[in-house]
Amino acid sequence: MRRIRIGEIRNSLLFDDELFRTIRRIKIFGYGINGAFLFAGGNSVTYKVEIDGKIYAMKCYTTLDPSRQEIHKVVSTLNTPILITPRYFVDELWVKDCYTDVALYPWIEGVTLTHAMRGAVHNKRADRLTELFEEFVRLALQLHNSEWRHGDLKTDNIIVCCDGSMMLIDCDMLIHSALPQRAVKGTPRYIHPQRPDVADIHADDYPTACIATSLAALAADLSLLTGEPVVSLPSEGKYNTIRQLLSHNSALVALLDAIHSPDYKIDNITTLLKQCTTHP
């Protein structure tokens, strides 16, 4: 199956809703001669759109993957407050010589956790980083107490809403017992080196530990933010620095050590998450 170019999707959208099978009366925000989009990922491009007076993030896929339909069928059955679930349209948009799938996510006002972290560091708001840490732990506890896992957990896939709560976006890598086992690629920086390609219920353990310890360490020392705001297997010198910063909290130290463990599983992760916000 060929990869669809972003420019080809842009050209199809120039026809408004004429090349959609079922979606009608669509308005694309910021759309002009350059085909402005919100962001492009490894297998999709996303636009902010209005349809019948409602705002959505419209994800148009650049790869054709039949397994996504199965994943989104399971997603539609989930009753969870922490995942923004889309309406999924199979073979919806005609692009050059084939149809591609489209997902419509309800528009949630807010910013990604990546953006919120960088903003807090830029404004020298250690207190804001502590708030983000505490809210992320709440989100992570709900995730790890659920029957599913995100599969591509990272700060870019977490929205910090206007009320301070957090929600997950992008469910294309979802892991659930109702789905057949399959290779889950995810984002390399957020994958433990020993995690198998066929991901399991422990797939989110490592990125959870990375994000939680990153937020806690940044709240203690704003100068740590360089490149991606995640701990993720730092050098020995940096690891020792971070370990010292977190030494007052034994649960956070345990999460940091788990990042460096040869085992990608953190069997007691929910216990550690609870302890890191309630016990020294």
- Highest average pLDDT, of 13-27, 130-144, 186-200, comes from 130-144
pLDDT given at position 229: 44
Q: What pLDDT was estimated at residue 2?
A: 75
Task: Tell me what pLDDT residue 209 has.
Answer: 94
DSSP letters along 54-73, please?
A: EEEEEEEESS--THHHHHHH
Beta-carbon neighbour count of residue 231 at 10 Å?
A: 25
Could you tell me where the beta strands, DSSP code E, fall in the chain?
Answer: 26-28, 39-40, 44-51, 54-61, 87-95, 98-106, 110-112, 148-149, 158-161, 166-168, 175-176
**pLDDT for res 235:** 53
Give the pLDDT band of residue 223 (cuts 50, 70, 90): confident
pLDDT of residue 197 exceeding 90, the answer is no
Of 150, 144, 172, 186, the residue nearest 70 (C-alpha): 172
Q: What is the arithmetic mean of pLDDT over 195-215? A: 92
What digits encode the pLDDT tens for the residues 142-186? 999 999 999 999 999 999 999 999 999 999 999 999 998 888 888
Quote the CA–CA distance of 221 and 99 in Å, as a whole number.
Answer: 49
Q: What residues contact 81, with CB distance under 8 A and at least 6 apart?
A: 142, 167
Say if residue 208's pLDDT is above 80.
yes
94-130 pLDDT per residue, tens: 999 899 999 999 999 999 999 999 899 889 999 999 9
CA distance 149 to 208: 11
Tell me the pLDDT band of 198, cut-offs 50, 70 and 90. confident
Q: By the 8 A CB rule, do 175 and 149 touch?
A: yes
Strands 87-95 and 98-106, how do they pair?
Answer: antiparallel
Residue with tokens 């842009």: 10
3-state secondary structure at position 78: coil
Q: How many CB atoms lie within 10 A of CB 250?
A: 14
Return the higher-pLDDT residue of 112 and 41: 112
Task: Choose the weakest-confidence range: 26-35, 52-61, 152-161, 172-181.
Answer: 26-35
253 pLDDT more than 60: yes
Q: Is the pTM of this model over 0.85?
A: yes
Q: How many Å apart are CA 135 and CA 156, to the nearest integer?
A: 16
CA distance 239 to 271: 23
pLDDT above 90 for 66: no
**pLDDT, position 49:** 92
What's the chain's average pLDDT? 89
